[in-house]
Structure 1
Amino acid sequence: MGMTMAEKILASHSGREQVSPGEYVTAEIDVMMGNDITFLDACRNLDDIGLTKMADPDKVVVVVDHYIPATTAKQAESHTRIREFVAQFGIKNLYDAGAGIEHAVLPEKGHAHPGHLIVGADSHTTTYGALGAAATGMGASELAYSMYKGSNWFQVPESINFVLDGDLSPGVTSKDVMLALLGQHTADKAQYKSIEFSGTGAAAMSVEARMTMSNTGVEMGAKFAMFAADEKTIEYLSGRTDAKIETFGPDADAEYSETHHIDCSGLEPQIAFPHNPDNVKSISEVGDVPVQQAFIGSCTNARTEDLERAAAILKGHQVASGTRLLVIPSSQEAMMNVTRSGVLNILVEAGAMIAPPGCGPCGGSSSGVLGAGENGIASTNRNFKGRMGSTEAFNYLASPETVAASAIEGRIADPRKYIN
């Protein structure tokens, strides 16, 4: 019997030839990741019980991305303590403040490979599924255990196959596909299940576009959210790692608990209304919704391609009076790319505020939060009440193109009218 991608990875990492959904396995982990919140908590857990070593510090990656630049003495002191723990445990892979968001940095620095098993103390660790890895989030205490043992237990999940059919129209993106899937299938569709994205639409997507979908897969409850690794994956990782990268995917006769098709060619831009990512409407159903803030950022949609597409919408236009546009590139690499290409100039000339690479206001932890009564539209992945500031604010989710068009008009707008 053939296996899905999740089954193949969990089998190979637990010394098994075959695994089936529902089984429990203890699996060796390739990469363990923590950020400036969760890594600190994990190390304090180890320190409190006198554990002074990790199984393999070279497999641990630490990214300081949530509270940057530090805005309080407490935040600055926590960053200092993180650096001390990194030195204490002999960890080489520290990406300090300014490097970018963890889920942009790890792929760019070559830490995520096809066939890898990756855990991270952050829910959007599913992002690395875009590279053919089985990647999942966990809490700080589980990260502490994983770093100490180098392994952890997993229940083999059932797998759902989402087949993406057809080509996307101009102005419609992978973010719109994922929002449409959330709207159709709801936020609990894939609770403790692995998602695989396949079909001609998946194959046509760039690796960065795939990252958007894998990142947002956890909003459907997914344990993993994966694309088969193909030539695009190999090309993306070329020069980022010395490891030999090969294609990787499910067996031809893999068995899925469910298979669903979506016609990408018929999609409009999608908007997730407050206060849940699955409260989705097509742009033609939105009506007149003014916005006080437009935010292009987060681990979902602030990579180089995202910023380039947003700039193409904004070029020659100005942010509407009464609306502010905040742009935070996902990483130092993305920031350098758009600086060299002139894309950053276009964004600034349109009236955008630019902040250093990091999480920004996505989780309400940094500059750019919303005040009471304000509407915001963002390229992020969550719009729960109070997540980006006041509990009396309203946040809408959309693609970078839709966010850019909305910044121009001061209300939620269709980006397709700005595409030549």
Structure 2
Amino acid sequence: MLESIKCSASGAYYLRGQWVPADAQAPAALAAAGVTAEQAGQAYKGTMAYGILTAHNTSGNDRDLRIKFDAMASHDITFVGIIQTARASGLEKFPIPYVLTNCHNSLCAVGGTINEDDHRFGLSAAKKYGGIFVPPHMAVIHQYMRERFAGCGKMILGSDSHTRYGALGTMAIGEGGGELAKQLLGRTYDVARPGVVAICLTGALPAGCGPHDVAIALVGELFKSGYVKNKVMEFVGPGIASLRQDTRNAIDAMTTETTCLSSIWETDEKTRQFLTVHGRAGDYKPLHPAELAYYDGVVSVDLSKIRPMIALPMHPSNAFPIEELNANLKDILHECEENVQKLVGRSDVKLDLCSKIENGRLRVDQGVIAGCAGGLFDSIYEAASILKGHTGGCGDYALSVYPGSQPIMMELNRTGVLTDLMASGATIRTAFCGPCFGAGDVPANGALSIRHTTRNFPSREGSKPGSGQLAGVALMDARSIAATTANGGILTPATEVDYDPTVPEYHYDPSSYEARVYQGFGHGDYDALLKLGPNIKDWPEIAPLGDNLLLKVASYITDPVTTTDELIPSGETSSYRSNPLGLAEFTLSRKDPAYVGRAKAVQAEEAARRAGQGDAALLAKIRAVPGCEALTWDDVQLASTIFAVKPGDGSAREQAASCQRVLGPGPTSSTSTPPSVTAPTSSTGACCPSSSTVRLPSA
């Protein structure tokens, strides 16, 4: 356990700024402070999360919540499928502000015109249904929502995992597209009231430490233990005041990697200033726990003890202080290599990290500062301060910087930061999320990239182990990436660099948004036609399930976790996410390439059954099952499924399930309308539960 972070062994009461452990002594301690047993029993209502959830709950029951959100956001990997699903289910107009950003497929690098066709579809949908359309290169999804929509006490739903705006007083949740389609149809987000864990911040960060150092430390401590899994992380404590608002926002973006449901922070004058600068002073209100609040756990974070961190391949929780890594390079890197080898599951490809040790230090090949976590003004400004007068050289090492929005880019330009960065040899990109999922700055085979981005899952940097290509990403804060760059690519924590960490007051210029963002909420042209490209396909019609279903396992995976990137790869496949059948061809391509063929074989068997040509020998096996003696092929359907220990970890992408949905039971038509939003979204890919699922006797 890191010295800077400690987790309580039990729940705790927050009583007028003091913590009372919920142990055997708690009743007496609370009574001594004048708290009755009844008040203690209702203390769960004192959290900020409870108040916001209750204000958005339509069920009248504070245990079983039916949430309606204030706004929603999607990007160009997900919005086509969401709108197509809602359209097939009766969509007439967007009932709440729905922001369609174009920050994932904005390069239009794969598949001809299909990415730009998706963008054109998004604009036509915004015009037809009354939406907000943010063109490519203008802003990454979460920075736009921070600048334009997040506000104290609000709730926002997004079809991206890192939908987190808690540091601005907004409870935000990243979900699969089916949940957004439900909101578009006036339905609710249904969830049991989540537990709430306090993240109590004290102290102040040392110079050279930034938001990713805090975030990686938190993920390293909380992910594996499941301490906050499906709970709300509620940030409280005096340490919040020491953090700039950009720092809070960047830490908050990474709470997704702890597996929590959502997050919320206490707000203060810095929050007010952020909203005021962005022209939304009216969206501020102070948020604090009540004088008495109950939390399911307490994570104590001493910011003064945070040190520059690194998350080695291939997970944000593979966290080490850089000082510790540098002191034990060979041992830690060798263990990392072995874990990567197990994760990749191939003997013909290897990530050789130990060969990168030079004179006892680690040489890296690339640096990237980007996205909703790294592309913020403060982090880029400090990185430029560290780099000023230095360069990464003209060898293999290269640094790329992606400001998170056009307004941030304009302010970096106004303050001269872009010039300083370019003078140091860094290349400046537009707002783009590609480095987070393998579609931007893909490193060379065998290379190690250090990134202030959100994820370093397998192949999130763009490599393809099945083709013999394997690279690695380590997550770090922008400040230490800059320090490493200034040291010619030799891993260096920013605490070893003498620089001025002062960041000037931020000036927000919305003129680029005013000139290019389409603002259509509330005034759609509801009779207009959508603009459909050749790759934009309706959902295939899928036959309704009958009473009896025979499932054949088409893939058997025993890994502890199967991520969505293994179920359906990121990167080049993103271009096909408007085409359910086309995308399904990539399912499990990096984990089990034979899966699609096996699933299609089961589909063929089901087609033969429907045509009256079912396998007689198989029917005989079914009839051997007690209670199934009288079944005929008219009574039983065939479908495929996969077996996995923990499938679908680490993303909100519903395509990880939809691909198996169209391959599992099998479409009856490729041109008809999509199914209702009640179609299953379980990432196991199994069909809807039938009243009877046939289990065949073992051979």
Structures share fold, TM-score greater than 0.5: yes
Give the Cα–Cα distance (whole angstroms) in 1 for the partners of residues 173 and 411 of structure 2: 29
- Matches of 1:54 and 1:337 in 2, distance apart? 33
Q: Equivalent of 2:399, from 299, 304, 325?
A: 325
Q: CA distance change for structure 1 residues 15 and 138 in 2, over 3 Å: closer, same or farther?
A: closer
Deviation at 1:249, TM superposition (A): 2.5
Name the larger-Rg structure. Answer: 2
CA displacement at 1:80 relative to structure 2:
1.0
Residue in 1 that maps onto 2:314: 275
Higher deviation after alignment, 348-357 or 145-154 = 145-154
Alignment of 1:197-216 (within 5 A): 197-216=235-254
SS at match of 1:149: coil
Q: Distance in 2 between matches of 1:161 and 1:65?
A: 32
**2: CA distance, partners of 1:177 / 1:70:** 34
Which residue of structure 2 lines up, in the alignment, with residue 245 of structure 1? Answer: 284
The aligned counterpart of 1:220 is: 258
1:351 paired residue number: 425
Structure 1: how far apart are the matches of 2:130 and 2:204? 47
Which residue pairs with 2:518 in the alignment?
none
Where do residues 6-405 of structure 1 align in structure 2 (5 Å cutoff)? 6-14=49-57, 19=62, 23-56=63-96, 59-71=97-109, 72-91=112-131, 93-109=132-148, 111-126=149-164, 128-149=165-186, 151-187=188-224, 188-238=226-276, 239-241=278-280, 243-287=282-326, 288-320=361-393, 321-365=395-439, 367-390=440-463, 391=465, 392-405=470-483
Tell which deviates more after alignment, 335-344 or 383-392.
383-392
Could you tell me which amino acid in structure 1 is paired with residue 366 of structure 2? Q
Paired residues, what number?
A: 411
1:411 to 476, 490, 500: 490
1: CA distance between counterparts of 2:86 and 2:170?
A: 27
Secondary structure, aligned partner of 1:401: helix
SS of residue matched to 2:371: coil
CA distance in 2, matches of 1:377, 1:303: 17
CA contact (8 A) 1:178 1:213 kept: yes
TM-score normalized by the length of structure 1: 0.94
Once residues 133 and 215 of structure 1 are traced to their aligned partners in structure 2, the CA distance between those partners, rounded to angstroms, is 12
Per-residue deviation, 1:244: 4.6
CA contact (8 A) 1:291 1:374 kept: yes
SS in structure 1 of the partner of residue 372 of structure 2? coil
Amino acid at match of 1:191: K
CA contact (8 A) 1:8 1:18 kept: no
Alpha carbons of 1:16 and 1:252: their partners in 2 closer, same or farther (altered >3 Å)?
A: farther
Q: How much does 1:145 deviate?
A: 0.9
Structure 2: gaps of 5 or more residues: 1-41, 327-360, 500-699
Q: For the residues of structure 2 that align with 1:279 and 1:83, how far apart are their CA atoms?
A: 40
1:301-328 CA deviation, whole Å, 9 max, x = no partner? 1111111011011000001332011111
| Separation of aligned partners in 1, 2:200 and 2:64 | 28
Stretch moving more, 285-294 or 182-191? 182-191
CA contact (8 A) 2:156 2:171 kept: yes
AA in 1 matched with 2:57: S
CA distance, structure 1, for counterparts of residue 420 and residue 260 of structure 2: 37
What letter matches 1:419 in structure 2? D
Counterpart of 2:647 in structure 1 is: none
Q: Residues 86 and 184 of structure 2 are in contact (CA less than 8 Å); yes or no, is this contact kept in structure 1?
A: no
> Cα distance, 1:243 vs. partner?
3.3
Measure the CA separation in 2 of the matches of 1:112 and 1:387. 28
Cα deviation, residue 260, structure 1: 2.0
Alignment partners' CA distance in 2, 1:16 and 1:26: 5
2: CA distance, partners of 1:360 / 1:79 = 16
Residue identity matched to 2:295: Y
How much has 1:16 moved relative to structure 2?
Answer: 7.7
Residues 373 and 453, structure 2, Cα contact 8 Å, conserved in 1: yes
Answer whether contact 2:275 2:283 (CA < 8 A) is retained.
no
Distance 1:382 1:189 in 2: 20
Does the C-alpha gap of structure 1 residues 66 and 244 become closer, same or farther in structure 2, counting only changes over 3 Å? closer
Q: Could you tell me how far apart the structure 2 residues matched to 1:359 and 1:47 are?
A: 27
Paired residues of 1:6 and 1:224 also in contact (CA < 8 A): no
What is the distance in 2 between the residues matched to 1:103 and 1:318?
31
Give 3-state SS (helix, strand or coil) of 1:177's partner: helix
Moved more, 149-158 or 248-257: 149-158
What CA deviation, in whole Å up to 9, does each residue of 1:55-74 have, x standing for no partner? 23xx2112111122322411
CA distance 1:137–1:402, shift in 2 (3 Å): same
Determine helix, strand or coil for the equivalent of 1:299. Answer: helix
Change (3 A) 1:38 1:4: same
Letter in 2 for 1:164: L
Q: Tell me the SS of whatever aligns to 1:130.
A: helix
Shift of residue 18 of structure 1? 8.2
Deviation string, structure 1 residues 265-323 (Cα, Å, up to 9, x no partner): 12210111111111111111122322111001111111111110110110000013320
Q: Which stretch of the first structure deviates more once superposed, 334-343 or 312-321? A: 312-321
2:223 touches 2:259 (CA, 8 Å); kept in 1?
Answer: no
Task: Write the distance in 2 (CA, Å) between the matches of 1:264 and 1:180.
Answer: 11
The answer on whether the counterparts of 1:302 and 1:330 sit within 8 Å (CA) in structure 2 is yes
Letter in 2 for 1:178: A
Equivalents in 2 of 1:204, 1:150: separation in Å? Answer: 41
RMSD after superposition = 1.7
Aligned-pair identity (%): 30
Residue 405 of structure 1 aligns with an amino acid whose one-letter code is: A
Distance 2:444 2:291 in 1: 51
> What is the CA distance between 1:50 and its match in structure 2?
4.1
For the residues of structure 2 that align with 1:346 and 1:416, how far apart are their CA atoms? 21
> In structure 1, what is the Cα distance between the partners aligned to 2:411 and 2:241?
25
Flag the 1:81–1:17 CA change in 2: closer, same or farther, 3 A.
closer
Give how far 1:155 is off.
2.1
Distance of 2:66 and 2:168 partners within structure 1:
23
**Residue matched to 2:512:** none
Secondary structure, aligned partner of 1:78: helix
- Displacement, 1:178? 1.6
Change (3 A) 1:123 1:14: same
Rounded to whole Å, the distance in 1 between the matches of 2:483 and 2:434 is 21
* In structure 2, C-alpha distance between the alignment counterparts of 1:185 and 1:360, rounded to whole Å: 26
**Cα deviation per residue 1:354-391 (whole Å; 9 max; x = unaligned)?**
111121322112x3112320100000111111001115
Q: Is the 8 A contact 1:190 1:220 kept in 2?
A: yes
